[in-house]
A and B are shown apart, each in its own frame.
Chain A
Amino acid sequence: MRYPFPVGKSDFIQGDEAIARAAILAGCRFYAGYPITPASEIFEAMALYMPLVDGVSIQMEDELASMAAIIGASWAGAKAMTATSGPGFSLMQENLGYAIMTETPVVVVDVQRGGPSTGQPTLAAQGDIMQAIWGTHGDHSLIVLSPSTVQEAFDFTIRAFNLAEKYRTPVVLLTDAEIAHMRERVYVPLPEEIEIINRKLPANEEEAKFPFGDIHGDGVPPMPIFGRGYRTYVTGLTHDERGRPRTVEAEVHEKLIRRIIEKLERNREDIISYDAFELDDAEVAIVSTGIVSRSAVRAVKILRERGVKAGLLKLNTIWPFDFDMIEELAERVRKIYVPEMNLGQLYHLVKEGANGKAEVELIAKIGGEVHTPMEIVERVVG
């Protein structure tokens, strides 16, 4: 396999470019999108690379169509991705719910920008945390990953595809304008250095009869993709294990929705990822995600120099959320600070997790700039 970019070496590239390259190395061969700042460079890179690797890149008429097209492509057997920013992500919510309901593996990149509405198209924000987790309607669950460096944007994109395939679910890669447009050194590995997970296919006709049944006891049914003779019917309506619409029976709905949510819940340990920095003896903790974590690392160093026993918990997965881990942390520290580039979204999750065991304080910042380390330090030392 020939790649249209160097592999097995480091390159100095933007976050958006890193996401595109990682997607191709992860096996993505279908991209549908609609241009939007600051996610357009992902599309532009995909447009450049996809025809060369015998994949498809297509500019759809809007975000609703982009999301729809990647779901269709996934049922036709392709690993598929789209990328957008806040307002476009809102338009995708309808079909994101469809992907959850039909257990379709797809990857959606949301490069956040200042909102609401068209807001600050060229500036960074973390205002879509709630939208990513709870944006679509009905009871549901999905996976949300959040990188803080360009290398992580690369690595998490590969992980996003693997998790999507493993758990037959949409995965949102939630990044922001700062990471999207920043250039950093990224190691682009050789294909053989990457672990690739592919979706479970039905082993036989019998298994294919239950595309929505928990036939292996792990909550993740094998996916009978189109054109292989299984004659699978896929619907966004509440359906039974065979995929037949059963819209008025409470038990059928409850069984389906609970399984969809629990297949992720019971694999929390596999899905949830975080990095701890100086947390072992910490008396105050900072919990953050994405770009802000980089200021937080520096803030912890400054605080330590000043004799404050500070530590950082950097969340790489925002959902499923590890409420228990936050509670354990809250039991060990005096106070938890949550710096984020919005007026309090991650804060709510952390506060719920802390469960009153420690005080939780929000360090909010909006307008387009990342917190400086000193802004965090000053709030901690009062």
Chain B
Amino acid sequence: MYLKSAYEIRDKYLRKDMLPTIFCPGCGIGSALQYTLRAIDDLGLNQDEIVWVSGIGCSSRVPGFVNFDGLHTTHGRALAFATGIKLANPDLKIIAFMGDGDAAAIGGNHLIHAIRRNLDITVILINNFTYGMTGGQVAPTALKGLRGTTAPYGQFENPFDIADLAVSAGANYVARWSVFNYLQGINSIKKALNKEGFTLVEFLSPCPISFGRRNRMKTAPELLRWYQKITVPLAKAKKMPPEELEGKIVIGEFADRDRPGLVREYEAYKKRAKKMMGWEE
């Protein structure tokens, strides 16, 4: 793959008047954003036919920085807004940039139902185990024992595995990487953008300021080393006994299928309705 320079990608796709971003030093959102823009660029997608949607949180600020149509909505509701956009104008391609708290906690119900419907959308999910914008509260993805300001003695609840959830709920494409897996990340986003139906690419993303600092990993490199320790590639994980996978996060491609998306289903439904009413043969 030929990689264009980051400056070229920046100049082509970012709103210069909105820079600098709100992201902290060492944050991984910029990387995930860059991979998404590179994927769009590589695929040669039309910038005017893509809408970015988001909820609330650090990653949800991304639609403000990119020079596309964008809807920055309420906390957790991005996919519900997107359902309206997509069904009202199926020609638009939709990218949702979401955080783990946004998607899996307050927006958990919207997430599973958007997947169940197979809403035609690509979700880029930033998972940093924390609520970064509000200062480091624990997220539903946080592994047991991780600290947050609302779990100062270490998380005692079980975490959500978002990729696993997405596969079970019926997503057409699901992949998870850390933001340090850049080639896999870009390739996954390209695959996701090329598919109809619900596609999701999750990135383990460093948040040194709100998360790392409270978990003895104050810098992005420290978080990188931790990701290397806790992530297991899917092929390897399949051969590992369950007790060895305890506390680990599997990365890789978890689903790649072609079930009909919501738009196609609704088009067929309209035809069926007209036929049943005798309006059409």
Contact = CB atoms under 8 A, between A and B. Distances in A.
Interface string B62-80: 0110011111111001001
Interface string B247-281: 00000000000000000001001101110010100
Among B18, B69, B73, find the residue whose CB has the most chain A CB atoms closer than 10 A.
Answer: B69
B223 interface: no
Given A4-B277, A76-B85, A226 B51 contact: yes
A95 to B, nearest CB: 6
A233 interface: yes
Interface in B52-95: 53, 63-64, 67-74, 77, 80-89, 91-92
A227 B69 contact: yes
Contacts of B113: 60-61, 65
Given A231-B48, A233-B72, A235-B72, A69 B80 contact: yes
B82 A72 contact: yes
A76 B50 CA distance: 12
B71 A72 contact: yes
B157 interface: no
A286 interface: no
Contacts of B80: 60-61, 64-66, 68-69, 72
Given A65-B110, A235-B72, A72 B273 contact: no
A64 B107 CA distance: 10
Nearest to B18: A244
A69 B84 contact: yes
A71 interface: yes
A276 interface: no
Contacts of B269: 51
B164 interface: no
Interface string B19-54: 000000000000000000000000000011101010
A30 B84 contact: yes
Interface string A48-89: 000110101010111011101111111111101000000000
A4 B64 CA distance: 42
A151 interface: no
A98 interface: yes
A228 to B, nearest CB: 8
B77 A230 contact: no
B51 A236 contact: no
B73 A68 contact: yes
A72 B88 contact: yes
A107 B273 CA distance: 25
B155 interface: no
Contact of A30 (B18, B87, B277): B87
Contact of B273 (A51, A64, A233): A51
B246 interface: no
Given A61-B110, A226-B92, A234 B84 contact: no
A363 B134 CA distance: 48
Given A58-B87, A75-B85, A244 B17 contact: yes
B109 interface: yes
Contacts of A51: 269-270, 272-274
Contacts of A95: 73-74, 77
Interface in A1-47: 2, 4, 29-30, 32
Interface in B80-130: 80-89, 91-92, 109-110, 113
Interface residues of A, number: 45
B264 to A, nearest CB: 14
A159 B72 CA distance: 29
**Chain B binding site: helix, strand, loop or mixed by DSSP?**
helix
Contacts of B86: 72, 76
A226 B74 contact: no
Nearest to B60: A235
B120 to A, nearest CB: 13
A229 interface: yes
A302 to B, nearest CB: 48
A234 B87 contact: no
Interface string A144-155: 000000000000
B64 A72 contact: no
A56 B87 contact: yes
28 contacts: A32-B83, A51-B274, A52-B273, A56-B266, A60-B80, A66-B80, A68-B74, A72-B71, A72-B84, A73-B84, A76-B84, A76-B89, A80-B84, A94-B77, A226-B69, A226-B92, A227-B51, A227-B92, A230-B69, A231-B67, A231-B69, A232-B69, A233-B15, A233-B72, A235-B64, A237-B72, A244-B64, A245-B72
Nearest to B77: A68
Contacts of B67: 231
A29 B73 CA distance: 22
Contacts of B73: 68, 71, 95, 98, 236
A15 B218 CA distance: 62
B279 A77 contact: no
Contact of A80 (B88, B91, B279): B88
Q: What 3 pairs across the A-B complex have the smallest Cβ distances?
A: A72-B84, A68-B80, A51-B273
B98 to A, nearest CB: 14
Contacts of A227: 48-49, 51, 69, 89, 91-92
A72 B81 contact: yes
Contacts of A68: 73-74, 77, 80-81, 83-84, 110
A51 B279 CA distance: 11
Given A30-B87, A226-B85, A232 B70 contact: yes
Contact of B88 (A78, A232, A236): A78
Contacts of B68: 231
B63 A73 contact: no
